[in-house]
Chains A and B, each alone.
Chain A
């Protein structure tokens, strides 16, 4: 079966650092993606990992451990506009088929 887990909600303070975890068990793996989704809007692509290790992109970093089925998204210097849901998605290796986790709703407080 396909299973992706993320915490449902997280809260952090403006200027702080927050780590959002994602664990997965999928039939096939060909990359892990993180998307940001503001309420009522479409998801937008944040980061991609296919090999183990850390990928850094400005204030956002993403880490992958394939042997552990684990990833995290690290957000630094939090801003109010970072309040959104963060979706973890795995691309399975047959075709271009993505499966999404339930999303983590992050609230950034002043």
Chain B
């Protein structure tokens, strides 16, 4: 079955450590995204990528880094520069809506919950 796989589901980190969250999709989607969700808040865009070897900063990119070496994979590194990294991280992908009836909606992974101790 096609889908998006995020790992790990839960992650604990000490202050000052970098951590990498994995995101893999087998939907053959062009675009991939990372969102952060905090309690009571909407999803905020960290980074997105429309093609391999290219990515764009979202609204809250500071303290994060990404790579897109393969179409299927879009890992997110939360660096020690991110001041408040405890959050629920969601990876998503979508097809470009260049042909109807493709709507290009986002498909989400199950999420990774990061806690900084």
Contacts and interface: CB of A to CB of B under 8 A. Distances in A.
Interface of A: 2, 4, 8, 30-31, 33, 35, 40-45, 48, 87, 89, 91, 95-103
B64 to A, nearest CB: 17
A48 B103 contact: yes
Interface in B92-109: 94, 96-97, 103-109
A7 to B, nearest CB: 13
Contact of B104 (A31, A35, A43): A31
B17 to A, nearest CB: 24
Chain A CB within 10 A, most for which of B44, B104, B107: B104
Contacts, number: 64
Contacts of B97: 30-31, 96
A102 B41 contact: yes
Interface string B41-56: 1111100101000001
Nearest to A87: B42
B107 A45 contact: yes
Interface of B: 30-31, 33, 35, 40-45, 48, 50, 56, 58-59, 90, 94, 96-97, 103-111
A61 to B, nearest CB: 16
B42 A98 contact: no
Contacts of A45: 105-107
Given A95-B50, A96-B50, A42 B111 contact: yes
A96 B48 contact: yes
Contacts of B90: 42-43
A2 B97 CA distance: 22
A30 B94 CA distance: 14
Given A96-B50, A96-B96, A91 B111 contact: no
Chain B CB within 10 A, most for which of A4, A30, A42: A42
Given A31-B97, A96-B50, A87 B110 contact: no
A87 B37 CA distance: 12
A42 B48 contact: no
Given A42-B110, A89-B106, A102-B40, 4 more contacts: A45-B105, A96-B94, A99-B59, A100-B43
